[in-house]
Structure 1
């Protein structure tokens, strides 16, 4: 059985959701952040040198880190073509782009705003202005894509949606952002909220 090492309020929620969408059996091991530093507990470092979550331990005892890598591993081994268009599919390029948009664009820019704020960088500082502009641009791109199609890869829900929802839900606990100017993102989140697998993942893994 797969074992998912899950840290509350983290990117590991993506993996719980994916496993629920695929209806795969798995064991869920919960960890809790330090309430002051918000850092991962030391027990996670005993599982993998990164000391972060998510971590997925396979049936063979191999432990994989990084949510994107874990999602790709699960789809490749257990997906049977579900939640990812085939390479020859017309939507494959969109799927690949938006899958990587999450951790290559949206979440890093929100994280930069968070860390600048923790460091006391003034709101009118040029570095903070740059960080805000990149978040605004990323959200506008996401909103524009969702104005064209119900799901990020196209007409069908996919793992690209699984990867990106974190950035406009749970990540906003750390880097608050007003989503009201982005109606298509809000409509997308409403569609997501109706998915039974997402509802189960919320109950199991404290999703926002």
Structure 2
């Protein structure tokens, strides 16, 4: 059977890295179109809108069909190309957990991480000296009252889940681990994830980073393990 023609539209330091990793795990050939962020805004270039109206990454073309949203891309590619790999057997508890983590990664884990990124940038932004104390006060209040507690809540929750099993969906590596890599790496980069408080999450990161498919994807994507947003 002829493999599909797959093109990954890859924005540097983005969620698109997960798609490269998934395809490496599946052993599927693919092409990569690289995009760089605007150095000032860190946003994707307008060229991505020619592929998908939102101009976001990842976007994948499979035999001309355009797929967007990393969780949907991962689930679709695993279903079509996995031949039973990376998705637990339907109807099992592991399958239910896998679907949960595919949605949790962006729906629950990423919002507080993105808020922290926004407030960090506000705190570091250039502004008149008389405005800075007001801005810093807003940042400090938001971080202490909401963002910080939410980050701690989610990190402790994920740590507790991995105390019960080796991988997010169960005893075997799955698409859920691919999807969860982005928020956990982001938490390690800028939200206080550390080995002393989160030994299971830290060990999980070490194990995914050691996978040959992960390392091949990092080379194809031209980046390391830590996302920028």
Please classify the TM superposition score into its range, dividing by the shorter chain length.
over 0.9
The match for 2:211 among 195, 199, 207 is 195
CA shift digits 1:97-122 (9 cap, x unpaired): 12211111111210012123334453
> Counterparts in 2 of 1:3-152, with a 5 A limit?
3-59=7-63, 61-120=64-123, 122=137, 123-126=139-142, 129-152=145-168
Q: 1:171 to 1:141 in 2, by over 3 A?
A: closer
Q: Which TM-score applies when normalising by structure 2?
A: 0.84
Q: What's the C-alpha RMSD, in Å, of the aligned pairs?
A: 1.6
Deviation at 1:146, TM superposition (A): 0.9
SS of equivalent to 1:124: helix
SS of equivalent to 1:17: helix
- The aligned counterpart of 2:127 is none
Q: Which TM-score applies when normalising by structure 1?
A: 0.92
CA shift digits 1:16-45 (9 cap, x unpaired): 000000000111111100111101011111
Q: Does 1:207 align with 2:224?
A: yes
Q: Residues 113 and 128 of structure 1 are in contact (CA less than 8 Å); yes or no, is this contact kept in structure 2?
A: no
Q: Distance in 1 between matches of 2:171 and 2:164?
A: 10
Structure number with larger C-alpha Rg: 2
Q: 1:6 to 1:171 in 2, by over 3 A?
A: farther
Q: Distance in 2 between matches of 1:46 and 1:112?
A: 29
Q: Distance in 2 between matches of 1:111 and 1:49?
A: 22
- The aligned counterpart of 2:131 is none
